[in-house]
A and B are shown apart, each in its own frame.
Chain A
Amino acid sequence: MLARTLTHTLVGVEARRVEVEAHLARGVPSFTIVGLADRACQEAKERVRSGIASAQLEWPMRRITVNLAPADLRKEGPGFDLPIALAIVAASGQVPAERLLGHAALGELGLDGRVRGVGGVIVAAEAARRAGCTRMLCPVEAAPEAALAGIQPVPVHDLGEAVAYLRGEWLPGPVAVAEAAPAADVPDLADVRGNERARRALEIAATGRHNLVLAGPPGTGKTMLARRLPGILPPLALDEAIEVLRIHSVAGLLPPGRPLVLAPPFRAPHHGASMAAITGGGPGPRPGEASLAHRGVLLLDELPEFSRPCIEALRQPLEDGVVAISRVQGRAVFPARFMLVATMNLCSCGGRGDPTAECSCSPQRLAVFRDRLSRAVLDRIDLVVVVPRARAAELAGPPGEPSERVRRRVAEARSRLDCAGPELGAAAAALLDRAVERLPLSGRGRARVARVAATVAALASCDVVGAEHVAEALSYRVPRELEPA
């Protein structure tokens, strides 16, 4: 009296195959789950028992042992409820066990037998497809996600429906591959008056996916500008959107019904965030803000207020585009290729750079403030713009260019940049050499300026990077105020 179902557990954003074996033996009725099940998974016992009863099925009065294999892999979360219930039902002969072949299953059970949604369905569905399964029993709301993974979903409302399907009494309707959800409302750049330089920098950053820092005294519109960046980013390609979908699915953050979002993600964690919240972590590692911003924007408002470990932890994703989290249990790698946008003041009192206020910081306080910015992170910022306090006349000016128009330019320039990309011309190289001599510019800094110059040239529809493009790129280098004393 043995039956098996196939399911998956998540390790980071990867799924590992787990076989659920249910064995019924004679003896005093009992129910045991073995195979390194965590607490949520152990509690499956109670949900499965009630769920089976509520679905008008019989609870076998036997000694029930459920094994989750491989036994050395930690199993987490409530997604095992449905496969456990199905294995028990099959083991007790209430559905034909051979019908379970070629099926994967995933879902949490309610006490009334209802199948509830769980995170990471797309990841599990992809793994199931690779493992040779053709169908997957899953919660109704997760069906579009499973369909995106190229597996035939069997969306079930409750356990009863799943059993009816396995007995061949009921067939689910076809599931359409979900359409992309419309982009969320993003504030428009037209709201920003003046600030031409910062707007230009935003456009360049959006085109070349460059990291950007907006620095300046408080109240000059740094955050306002940064929040309008998503509005000028071109939509994601389908494969990028699916990468994003995987991460957001694992984190349980998908919009219900229409999981596919083509708008690049935008994450703005508060500066009180812990390091684990930024990079991801926990015993069974979960994605952090850096991963949730994959293929999108990570906005760190008031960068120097973030804890030093948080900022330092961004070095790896900024360099490699991934966060690797090592735990005793194993290692999880989360993709984290994001655009970093940060805002900051020029000193701790905020008066620096404001002609109408006087900075009251002592030299020591200034030095402490500058030291808080990690050299290593600053070295990975391509564009730094000092946003000065605007004059009243500027704020009375006409509204700025709307995001829509900027986005079209960005998309066009990006396609040019992504094909071949402009080459560095002779005049451009000469200017770069001169700049390295005259300015505090490291080798890495030089490469960074060249990259930004290529983006500027792409925006100008040029095939060759000219001196004027390098000159503009140089104007976004780290200003002296932020360099260590």
Chain B
Amino acid sequence: MIRRLRRGAAAYPALLAAIHDPPACLHVRGAAPLSVLSLPAVAVIGSRTCSPYGAQVARSIAREAAAAGAVVVSGLARGVDAEAHRGALEAGGATVAVLGCGIDRDYPAAHAALAARIAETGLLVSEYEEGVEPAPWRFPARNRIIAGLCRAVVVVEARERSGALITVDFALEGGREVLAVPGEITSALSRGTNGLLRHGATPLLDPADALDAIGVLAPAWAPVATSSVAAAVLAALADGAGSADEAVRATGLPAGAVAGALTELELSGLIDCAEGRYRRRAGLRA
């Protein structure tokens, strides 16, 4: 069911109303109450083509933010956006997807299932009414809503001329905090975010930094009990992502034991696996 939220209505988010050209009407789809739009929110945005690192970090940030009760806002695009939504859903939190097309459309079509999951517990929002086609110029306009709904914007990975930087401009205009995830200086995918850091964006070194920026208290971190083998494998991954073979060599343990330990760590949420490489979750204090 689609709900409309006109500017001036009581439920119209105050933060969004404060930007210089707030949308006259917000079309809203999803099961969550409209008040979700006024909760402390953080935008997690970035490149549509992202590296395994970017995907993992986006998911971690969103997961932790959602677990702490913050709303994760993003744009339902491929790459970082989708990972952010998935991370928030994983933590069972509310997430808001701002669309650059008519409220009844799922764009990109490949994310129709993701959109449906978001609608179950969160909201999809658009300033365009039903039937409006996605068009290149609608996405920058959509970005102003993403920035407008949030107290802080986290850029996970962005190329030098990424659309995510447009959102950053809107955020700065609206006086919102901008955080950037530092990346490797050799990666073109981090050129944009590293550039933001040079210009004074807050570096995000821990998912809790995003929560600090919007004034939400991070929940106390409960240490997870691990077996001694798993602890050794986790220690071997301290210097960055590694393959199972590298963990075997670093720990001197048999491949079978390491494989079991990696599953244990994955199930405990201490590491993530992408493309055959295992990476400790961002913000892991162990």
A residues with a Cβ closer than 8 A to B are 194-197, 199-200, 215-216, 346, 352-353, 355, 358, 362-363, 367, 386-388, 390-391, 394, 397, 434-435, 438-439, 456, 459-460, 468-469, 471-472, 474-476, 479-481, 485
**B243 touching A388 by the CB < 8 A rule?**
yes
**A197 touching B267 by the CB < 8 A rule?**
no
Which of B49, B249, B261 is in CB contact (< 8 Å) with A363?
A: B49
Question: Which chain A residue shows the least CB distance to B269?
Answer: A438
Given A388-B277, A481-B275, A485-B110, the answer on whether A471 and B245 have CB atoms closer than 8 Å is no
- Could you show 21 A-B contacts with beta carbons less than 8 Å apart? A197-B244, A197-B245, A197-B259, A200-B256, A200-B259, A346-B275, A387-B276, A388-B245, A388-B275, A388-B276, A391-B246, A434-B267, A435-B263, A459-B256, A460-B256, A471-B264, A474-B267, A475-B244, A475-B263, A479-B275, A479-B276
Main secondary structure of the interface of B (DSSP, over half): helix
**Chain B, 38-86, CB within 8 A of any chain A CB:** 48-49, 78-79
Given A346-B275, A367-B110, the answer on whether A476 and B259 have CB atoms closer than 8 Å is yes
Confirm or deny: B210 has a beta carbon within 8 angstroms of a beta carbon on chain A: no
Tell me the bound Cα distance from A459 to B82 in angstroms: 41
**B262 touching A386 by the CB < 8 A rule?**
no
**A471 touching B48 by the CB < 8 A rule?**
no
Confirm or deny: B273 has a beta carbon within 8 angstroms of a beta carbon on chain A: yes
Q: Which chain B residues lie closer than 8 Å to A439 at the CB level?
A: 267
Give chain B's interface residue range (CB within 8 Å of chain A). Answer: 20 to 34
**A216 touching B276 by the CB < 8 A rule?**
yes
Question: Which chain A residue shows the least CB distance to B275?
Answer: A353
Given A197-B243, A456-B256, A476-B259, the answer on whether A435 and B274 have CB atoms closer than 8 Å is no
Confirm or deny: B214 has a beta carbon within 8 angstroms of a beta carbon on chain A: no
Tell me the bound Cα distance from A195 to B249 in angstroms: 10
Given A468-B257, A468-B260, the answer on whether A394 and B245 have CB atoms closer than 8 Å is yes
**Chain B, 197-249, CB within 8 A of any chain A CB:** 241, 243-246, 248-249
Question: Which chain A residue shows the least CB distance to B187?
Answer: A358
**B110 touching A386 by the CB < 8 A rule?**
no
Which of A363, A390, A397 is in CB contact (< 8 Å) with B48?
A: A363
Tell me the bound Cα distance from A479 to B277 in angstroms: 11
**B110 touching A475 by the CB < 8 A rule?**
no
Q: Which 5 A-B pairs have the closest CB atoms?
A: A386-B276, A471-B260, A353-B275, A200-B255, A388-B276
Tell me the bound Cα distance from A259 to B91 in angstroms: 62
Given A363-B49, A394-B249, the answer on whether A472 and B260 have CB atoms closer than 8 Å is yes
Question: Which chain B residue shows the least CB distance to A431?
Answer: B267
> Measured between C-beta atoms, what is the minimum distance from A373 to chain B in Å?
16
Tell me the bound Cα distance from A468 to B49 in angstroms: 36
Tell me the bound Cα distance from A367 to B111 in angstroms: 12
> Measured between C-beta atoms, what is the minimum distance from A344 to chain B in Å?
13
Q: Which chain B residues lie closer than 8 Å to A216 at the CB level?
A: 276
Q: Which chain A residues lie closer than 8 Å to B256 at the CB level?
A: 200, 456, 459-460, 472
